[in-house]
Amino acid sequence: MWVQLGLVVVLVTVAVVTLVFQSRSAATQEAEHRTRAVAEAVAQAPGMMQALDGPDPTAVLQPRAEQIQRRADVDAVVVFSPQGIRYTHPDPKLIGKHVVGPYKQALTQGTFTRTFRASTGTTVISIAPVTRDNGTVAGLVSVGITVKRVQNTAWALLPLVLGGAAGALILSAGGTVLLARRLRRQTHGLGPAGMTRMYEHHDAVLHSVREGVLIMDADHRLLLANDEARRLLDLGPDAEGKQATDLRLDPPTVELLTSGRAVSDAVCPAGDRLLAINIRPTDVPDGPAGSVATLRDTTELRALAGRAEAAGERLRLLHDAGARVGTTLDVRRTAQEMTDVAVPGFADLVTLELADPVLRGDEPTALDGPLRRVAVSVAPPHGGRRTSTGASADEHAATERHTSGGHGDVASASAFSLTGDSPRQKADSCPTSFATDELVTYAPPTPQAQALKTREAVLAPVLTDTRACSEHSGQQAGHIHEPGLRSLITVPVRARGVVLGVANFWRSQESDPFDEDDLSLAGELIGRTGVCIDNARRFTHAHATAVTLQRSLLPEALPDQDAVDAAYRYLPAQAEEAEVGGDWFDVIPLPGARVALVVGDVVGHGLHAAATMGRLRTAVHNFSTLDLPPDELLSYLDELVTTIDESTGTARISGATCLYAVYDPTTGCCTMATKGHPGPALVRPDGTVSFPSIPVSPPLGLGGEPFETASLELLEGSRLVLFTDGLFTDRHRDIDTGLDQLRTALARLPGRTPDETCQGVLDAMLPAQPSDDVALLVARTRRLDTEHIAQWAVNRDPAEVARIRTEVTGRLTVWGLAELSFATELILSELVTNAIRYGTGPITVRLVRARSLICEVADGSSTAPHLRRAAATDEGGRGLYLVSQFAERWGTRYTKRGKTIWTEQSLTSGAPPLSDVTDEALLDQWDDSAW
């Protein structure tokens, strides 16, 4: 410590002495630099040339020269003419005198500096010319300073220098003491001998451990490598001192060693070894810049880890299959989900073929026919070589080379074609097209045929020697020698012991061939997929059954009638996994040329909804035969639904809705009532659209609310649009928005036919795949010609019967229906006689010529005639038999003021001959004398 302190004192003393001597030499140089700089600055100052060429240069320049002299701390600033006459001088007495000394050199050579001895001591002067724009010299500037003046400035700093030296001496002494103490602490009190022993022990340990150690500086230059590191990296004896890039290591290892970051257990190849490398920087506090790397040989451990990772990859693949396969109940979608899961994690190309009955929802009985390819997935180009673990092999490249000699880096999917044959295809090779919806026949001895026969998965690790091709589109089977295809696993798709199809997993030439572990994994994957496909098949079967049932319950065609021109559209739900609903519609002809328009909806989907819809539709048909008003018909229907709900227990159908409307073309009146169903839209002949107000009531089966009807007077050519809620509501729009869209769509279809209106509304309102059933019925109203309607009032006098017969015969003659006069007279005679005898007034008779001849007799009584057997001795009671014989149909319709007895006669067929109506036949009929 004392030696160090003495050295510091000597160094400080020498530094001070050197500074003194250097200050003398530096003073002269400082004087030269200062005078030259001031002279040139003054010569180039703005206005200098103008002052020299002015009438009195001294008056302008003398004050400036004195000011510059003081600020620049020089002895003299003299400005004089090219002839040497002074304009300025520190001594005003010398102004106008000639300059003493050399100055003419500045006129030709520019600024120069001279040093000479004077009475005041060593002096330095610099002379600079003031040059005009044309190059001539306007004057000269001379600046002088003594060296002594400059030295005085330097000596003024000497106490500061000495004080600094003293301070440095004190700090050095203190630092030496502190350093000695810290060194003592860091060496734990070890002296030189102890430090030597510690180094020897450290060296022995460093070179005997079975872990490589590399120490590098900040420039990645190798400073130290122990024996194990030399062995693992195959380093030569001259490795120390070389850059890491010059040690002939594998590029990944070099990149890691020169990365400059901390690394933990990174695996890098080193020849035929795999090394686990840890790197830590040494530029921690009090440490040198650089890094220390430790190396461990992990080749065997990595092989074990690879097998464990392969098992993990298989589990992850199965987990992905469980999460992604079977998300829908669509057979094709489920198959595609499986192929997507397996590519590229397990195979480069996956195809799945199923029997056609499976796609229809049926269970295949035999697989002796062609299969249909329903799903194909192919790995993208440059997807990374695939190993038996199912993962990309880039990170395991060294392990593959060490354990199995694998080769290649990237799998190419360009060897597979989804839309055409390979240009390299040979005559004896299979087509490379793997297009969906293609029929494929597998014939022995292909692996696929073997798998279908044995119901077991088949492994073909190498395809070059295996007949593993199928017949595509009628082409002959041959040896597979496809460019890019290397290995195949084919697995039958089974569920509940039934084979549904076959799945094929392919690997390319750049991937490792399949092994037994892959075979078991493929079997497990297809086992789960088979269950999902079978579930989707069964759903498809149930859906097809429900659709068949539903369509069988809906009208196949609209009946002929004279009241409206009607068209309809029925669209079952087409969204994914959507079931059939309970929407229905009907057009029901009613007596008197009237027609009933019906639309309804059953809440829910599936077979139950379809069956319920059939029951309600049948009930509406039955109730309509009673010719009930809309409110009464819905009342009966509501009571029926309530009864069904109470009798069936859990299978409730509450929530069904129905709209029932009756249109009379003779008056243009439309009467309607609704039970929980949205009202219709009305498009008038001028194109305006409205939604008539109909009294609101709850859905069918809830009861408790009275029914009300709404009556509309419709012009001829009006379009009445009836629909279910699937037309205007879905999860993305509310009721009001949907109705506004419907109003807009109908307004854009003026003057269209009912069929065109249906199509236009569906195009404007529905998405590509509606999520709910839609029933749409459009009816364009007609009005019967008043010339085809005749009506008479009847007095309660038996003589009126003859008058009515005469009037009717005359009208039929006018209508060209004279051949129907006899039968019509008989019918009206019976009905009018009964009305006069048993009914109450007022009595009216109406004759309507429509699709048939309609006769109506109305009176104020609510009692109706009915057939009963007449006794042999009865004189009457056989009139209704004559009515039933001469009319195609007859019945009773009740009104608010009584009833109407109606009959219909065909306009094309005449009345039955009177000879057919015998007494014996009359005796066998029921008596109609009681009302």
- Between CA 554 and CA 491 the distance in angstroms is 44
User: What does the pLDDT read at residue 745?
Assistant: 93
Q: What is the pLDDT of residue 611?
A: 80
pLDDT average, residue stretch 658-672? 94
- DSSP H helices, 209-248, are 227-233
Q: Give whichever of 241-245, 874-878, 909-913 has the largest mean pLDDT.
A: 241-245
What is the torsion angle, in degrees rounded to the nearest 10, for the CA atoms of residue 19, residue 24, residue 29 and residue 34? 100
Rounded distance, CA 468 to CA 478, Å? Answer: 8
Q: What is the pLDDT of residue 12?
A: 61
Sign of CA dihedral 810, 815, 821, 826: negative
- Give the per-residue pLDDT at 161: 59
* Angle at CA of residue 175, ends 170 and 179, nearest 5°: 155
Closest to 118 in 3D by CA, of 83, 94, 149: 149
- Over the chain, what is the mean pLDDT? 79
A 10 A CB-CB count for 759 gives 17
Can you give the pLDDT at residue 104?
A: 80
What CA–CA distance (Å, rounded) separates 514 from 463?
11
The pLDDT value recorded for residue 399 is 37
More confident call, 270 vs 77: 77
742 pLDDT band (50/70/90 cuts)?
A: very high
In whole angstroms, how large is the CA radius of gyration of the chain?
57
Question: What pLDDT sits at residue 752?
Answer: 92
User: In terms of DSSP H, where are the helices of 44-124?
Assistant: 48-52, 57-72, 105-109
Q: CA–CA separation, 527 vs 491, rounded Å?
A: 9
Q: How deeply is 642 buried, as exposed, middle or buried, from its count of CB atoms within 10 A (0-12, 13-18, 19+)?
A: middle
pLDDT given for residue 401 in this prediction = 36
Residue position matching structure tokens 């077991």: 456
pLDDT at 446: 87
Given this model, what pLDDT does residue 286 score? 63
The two structure tokens encoding residue 718: 């009006």
Residue 236 has pLDDT above 90, yes or no: no
Q: Residue 25 carries which DSSP code?
A: H
pTM of the predicted model as reported, rounded to 2 decimal places: 0.55
Q: At residue 604, what is the residue type? A: G
Averaged over 436-465, what is the pLDDT? 86
Separation CA 387–CA 400 (nearest Å): 9
Is the CB of residue 123 less than 8 Å from the CB of residue 145? yes
463-498 pLDDT, tens digit each: 754 444 444 433 333 334 455 678 899 999 998 889
Highest mean pLDDT: which range of 160-164, 385-389, 727-731, 807-811: 807-811
For the residues 442-455, what does the mean pLDDT come to? 89
Residue 382: pLDDT over 80: no
Percent of the chain with pLDDT strictly greater than 90: 20
Give the residue-averaged pLDDT of 344-357. 90
Q: What is the pLDDT of residues 557-588, one digit of tens each?
A: 888 888 999 999 988 876 555 566 788 899 99
564-571 β-sheet, strand order: 564-571, 774-781, 719-723, 681-683, 689-690
Other beta carbons less than 10 A from residue 930's beta carbon: 12
The reported pLDDT for the residue numbered 572 is 80
Strands 263-270 and 371-378: unpaired
Helix extents (H) in 494-629: 516-553, 607-625
- Can you give the pLDDT at residue 659? 94
Residues 784/590, Cβ–Cβ less than 8 Å: no
Please report, as a single letter, which amino acid is at residue 392.
Answer: S
3-state secondary structure 345-396: CCCCEEEEEECHHHHHCCCCCCCCCCEEEEEEEECCCCCCCECCCCCECHHH
The tokens describing 346, both together, are: 């397990």
| Torsion angles phi and psi, residue 329, rounded to 5 | -110, 35
Query: What is the pLDDT, as a whole number, of residue 419?
Result: 34
pLDDT at 551: 76
Q: What is the pLDDT of residue 649?
A: 55
Residue 406: its pLDDT value, please? 34
Q: What is the pLDDT of residue 686?
A: 92
Query: Is the model's pLDDT at 408 over the cut of 70?
Result: no
Considering only residues 578 and 104, tell me which one the structure prediction assigns the higher pLDDT: 104
**First vs last C-alpha separation in the chain:** 145
Tokens 């496909």 found at:
533
Helix (H) or strand (E) holding 793: strand 789-794
pLDDT band at 421 (very low <50, low <70, confident <90, very high): very low
- Is the model more confident about 707 or about 410? 707
Q: How many CB atoms lie within 10 A of CB 794?
A: 22
Question: Cα angle vertex 455, ends 454, 458, to 5°?
Answer: 80
Q: For residue 154, is pLDDT > 70? A: no
Residues constituting the chain: 931
| Burial 374-393, CB ≥16 within 10 A → b, else e | bbbbbbeeebbbbbbbbbbb
Strand 774-781 and strand 843-849: the pairing is unpaired
Q: What is the pLDDT of residue 912?
A: 53
pLDDT at 665: 93
Identity of the amino acid at 521: L
How is residue 155 annotated by DSSP? H
The three-point CA angle 727-731-737 to 5° equals 60
Over the stretch 825-869, which tens digit does the pLDDT of each residue have? 888 888 888 888 888 889 999 999 988 899 999 998 887 776 655
Q: How far is the C-alpha of 879 from the C-alpha of 926, rounded, in Å?
A: 10
Selected residue with higher pLDDT from 390 and 531: 531
Looking at 203-217, 368-382, 552-566, which range is the least confident one? 203-217
The confidence band for 155, taking pLDDT boundaries of 50, 70 and 90, is low
pLDDT value of residue 720: 96
Tell whether the model's pLDDT for residue 303 goes beyond 70: no
Q: Is residue 337's pLDDT more than 80?
A: yes
